[in-house]
Structure 1
């Protein structure tokens, strides 16, 4: 009787490199690179192994990929880059690695959010400060023309509001509805 192999299908069609990055196995990542694996291969969600390493906070795996030429600016299905995910995960060390390897600090996702606007929207004060220190455009706007200040007010982030005002972000800019940060503050019940 012939021996039949059962095919194992991974749910998102991950490559071995994706799995090594998700599992935090930098030795396996290095070995796969020695055998010329595709550093920029994508899974079913159009996500690269580098993005999976960042999402899993596997700094070692991310570093090895970057040192061997993985592209830090490839986008997943939501047009998020590895830097967007480093911001969400609040990893200054990984974000630093990415910027050192020419990650686009002004990359825009489907919601027209740069990593800086994403940090503001998600109330990630340390990441907002980090991105400002690394030259992020503090005057960027999202897909409905909301400035960082409007997002900070809208998402109740008073520390970020103060930081943005110190950086010279205009309190008078208006979104596509014609509303300013002051109007959002008033409508949300904030007092001066």
Structure 2
């Protein structure tokens, strides 16, 4: 039992590492082999939380496999939508919304993704988020 848990944890570490480095094909392979898309790494983060926000193809794979678009970072309260809005990746923002990311989620500073986009100067993202 302990060995199985350690193997699962290793798989989830590998998944988050592949997501963080933008290795879409590795992510797809791991998920097709049954790795838990919402499993956490040793830092308590899921693949969608650590993915390269500008890699929309990677985000799509994770979301199609059931990644939770509303998972919040325990330290900041930021969701993937906050992160995509903060970095100005409109395609990822649109995709997250399509997969039911909550545009009204607030982080630990009571900021919504639209607020974060506005603060970081991503007017197009802020305008889009205001319209949903």
Q: Give the TM-score normalised by structure 1.
A: 0.59
Spell out, residue by residue over 1:132-191, the C-alpha distance to the aligned partner (whole angstroms, 9 max, x if none). 222xxxxxxxxxxxxxxxxxxxxxxxxxxxxxxxxxxxxxxxxxxxxxxxxxxxxxxxxx
Secondary structure in 2 matching 1:126: helix
Distance 1:67 1:53 in 2: 15
CA distance in 1: counterparts of 2:110 and 2:125, whole angstroms? 18
Aligned to 1:132: 130
Match of 1:155 in 2: none
- 2:4 counterpart residue number: none
Q: Which runs of 5+ in 2 are unaligned?
A: 1-11
**Equivalent in the alignment of 1:50:** 48
Counterpart of 1:32 in structure 2 is 30
Structure 1 residue matching 2:51: 3-state secondary structure: helix
* CA–CA distance in structure 2, aligned partners of residues 104 and 132 of structure 1: 12
Tell me which residue corresponds to 2:100.
102
Contact persistence 2:48–2:59 (CA under 8 A): yes
Asked whether the equivalents of residues 54 and 85 of structure 1 are also in contact (C-alpha less than 8 Å), the reply is no
Residue 71 of structure 2 corresponds to 74
* Structure 2 contact 84–90 (Cα < 8 Å) conserved: yes
The runs of 5 or more residues in structure 1 that have no matched partner are 1-13, 135-192
Does the 8 Å contact 1:40/1:49 carry over to 2?
A: yes
Give 1:122 deviation, angstroms.
2.2
CA distance in 1, matches of 2:128, 2:52: 17
2: CA distance, partners of 1:15 / 1:45? 9
- SS of the equivalent of 1:42 reads coil
Q: Please say which structure displays the higher CA radius of gyration.
A: 1
Q: What is the CA-CA distance between 1:67 and the residue it aligns to?
A: 0.7
| Contact 1:54-1:82 at 8 Å conserved across structures | no
TM-score (norm 2): 0.83
**RMSD over aligned Cα atoms:** 1.5
The CA distance in 1 between the partners of 2:113 and 2:98, in whole Å, is 15
Number of residue-to-residue matches in the alignment = 120
Aligned to 1:10: none
Give the equivalent residue in structure 1 for 2:3.
Answer: none
- Looking at structure 1, the residues matched to 40 and 108 of structure 2 have their Cα atoms a distance apart, in angstroms, of 18
